[in-house]
Chains A and B, each alone.
Chain A
Amino acid sequence: MMAVRKPPITTREYWAPGHAACAGCGPAIVMKLATKAFSEAMEEKYGDPNAFAIAHATGCMEVVSGVFPYTAWKAPWIHVAFENAGAVASGVEAAWKKLGRKGKILAIGGDGGTADIGLQALSGMLERRHNVVYLMYDNEAYMNTGIQRSSSTPYGAWTTTSPPGKYSIGEDKPKKWVALIAAAHQVPYVATASIGDPYDFYRKMKKAASVDGPAFVQVLAPCVPGWRIPPEKTVEVAKLAIETGIWPLFEIENGDFHNIKFQRFPKDGKFKKPIEDYLKLQGRFKHLFKKPEAIQELKNQVKEMWRILGKEVELP
């Protein structure tokens, strides 16, 4: 008899078809994979794959998944407001503790709901050591309200509030890395991921769900209308983000910045593909190709980001 190979990830689904996300939506892929990974971790840890609840910040994925009287969620799910997913998750976790319920809470927010308006509630949740995984799906702008810049928008990007013009190159500040802020709370586990490497993301979500106490995962999730990419390019763009070095994959445990673990990092520190390969697929960076000095500035910022992470890199 032929052995049936166990599927590499669970076939259980918590993110049902019929949600209202755009074709090719990066964050929708995040929702699907994250809940599957969570479920596997809960099965291994508590013997119950369903032992989790989701607290969701206002944002694209919240809006497309829970339009009364329909829901895309096959897990217990709550949405309260934009800036408080960390606090709501804290409350759910405390209640579960008193109810003697085993399991873990998954808080989900976009970059606006996490890096900006929800940063305080996130910090409180991490600092108080709630048994919650906070998942930040980073599409690098306020997409739900129509593509406004957030503090997680990268340098040079067009958004509706960072338009390039005579006196503007687009977004003029470097990207704020919330993963590093989260790690500074010395919580058990912090990781970055990209849907361009789904297995890496899956493993990290499982790890985050498995540790005792809080964890934070920041996953790159391209937005088709916001990044001005064709819907079939979502994963390709997310892959190029890793391959060009603009998106680092790392893990930091217990805030130990001296022992950061990297994934997909070139041994010699030399990235083979130029950042231009990543930029040119996206309409949000189109204007940069008329300003090579802006692309150089972006590269300098990426190098500096790597240096802060403890790596000297070369970007072609």
Chain B
Amino acid sequence: MPMRKVMKGNEAAAWAAKLAKPKVVAAFPITPSTLVPEKISEFVADGEMDAEFIKVESEHSAISACVGASAAGVRTFTATASQGLALMHEILFIAAGMRLPIVMAIGNRALSAPINIWNDWQDTISERDTGWIQFYAENNQEALDLILIAFKVAEDERVLLPAMVGFDAFILTHTVEPVEIPDQEVVDEFLGEYVPKHAYLDPARPITQGALGFPAHYMEARYTVWEAMENAKQVIKEAFDEFEKKFGRRYHMIEEYKTDDAEIILLTMGSLAGTLKEFVDKKREEGVKIGAAKMTVYRPFPIEELRALAKKAKVLAILEKDISFGIGGAVFADASRALVNEKEKPIMLDFIIGLGGRDVTFDQLEEVVAISKKALEGEKVEEVNWIGLRKEIL
């Protein structure tokens, strides 16, 4: 029987790692993710987890050791956040290019400067072009579940790409919630053994991994990463189906909430989705035709699902905790790509919100709705809006 425990998001991630039985874990402490490797050390110390835990001297070495282990043919896990993820940046491309299905838990945290340990998604959003699959969790249960799903998808032979699962700093990493821990036997069935056919570093059948690609081959190598990421769309849906059958919880590329007759749809990721659902309930009571949607998978980008969502809305308001300076939010830019050639599309607005741990309040969401309503009534509004700015200190 599955067990229910009250735990922090970080503990849920560590439990997911324990259940997935990676043979090698390499990690380095960083707020707010430190508890993940701490908990894993405890599991290893108590003999509850049979993994080599490499206590590396930096995140760069954490991901490098993971690449070495994964290339040697074993399931591999790590966790980090923010500056740590940024330090890994170079090797993230290599992990994807070498087609190594490493899974990484991220306590989504702002990037310096100024140094800030609190939540936004700038860390993982900035890694969107590395070739890693990206999931975002709304709550601690999703953090656990999505890590298991990440292993399943990453190791699929049609994919073979690394995957990261983001869950919001402190809002989830340090907040206790009830979490259902699935049965080990069912997880074993769900994931199976990882026995790669392309990466093994075995003296009995020596291969060269990480060779130099001249212009005659480089582009094709990169194209296979593109193809794998395209394949991942189908594989993720299959994994969601199988996960539901085995564990009873349903996941969607984009999960919709009260969108059917909505004029305004608020689209977001991560824990903010929970806030939006409550806000939508309140506005519905006031008679506002409003809905919410949560993007669970950001890479590969759920283009078809976004098009279907967009058909329902007159205003698609994207609320995101990241900023690509000089253009706007990254999710907004990506959503624009999804809709650019659609004949009918909603007015699209971007709301930069909750950076560096700034609380997202209903007052701020009211501002989002007010701007959306103006746009709905044909008034010209800014496409990119910073919400909740303290203008008095600017």
Contact = CB atoms under 8 A, between A and B. Distances in A.
Interface of A: 48, 50-53, 55-56, 62-63, 66-69, 71, 73-81, 83-84, 86-99, 101, 103, 120-121, 123-124, 127-128
B130 to A, nearest CB: 14
Given A76-B206, A88-B64, A81 B24 contact: no
A91 B64 contact: yes
B213 interface: yes
B54 A94 contact: yes
13 contacts: A50-B204, A53-B201, A62-B212, A68-B213, A84-B60, A84-B91, A90-B54, A90-B61, A91-B26, A94-B24, A95-B23, A121-B57, A121-B58
A83 B209 CA distance: 17
A7 to B, nearest CB: 22
B241 to A, nearest CB: 31
Interface stretch (B71-79, B181-189, B258-266): B71-79
Contacts of B272: none
A76 B64 contact: no
A69 to B, nearest CB: 7
B217 A69 contact: yes
B286 interface: no
B60 A87 contact: yes
Q: Chain B, interface size: which category?
A: 35 or more
B208 interface: yes
B209 A77 contact: yes
Contact of B68 (A95, A127, A128): A95
A48 B203 CA distance: 9
Nearest to B221: A68
B90 A81 contact: yes
A-side interface mostly = mixed
Contact of A78 (B23, B68, B221): B68
B61 A80 contact: no
Interface string B21-60: 0011010000000000000000000000011101111101
B326 interface: no
Given A53-B201, A68-B217, A87 B61 contact: yes
Nearest to B213: A68
Nearest to B200: A76
B237 to A, nearest CB: 31
B64 A80 contact: yes
A73 B69 contact: no
A103 B203 contact: yes
B208 A92 contact: no
Top 5 nearest A-B pairs by Cβ distance?
Answer: A91-B68, A91-B65, A95-B72, A87-B61, A124-B57
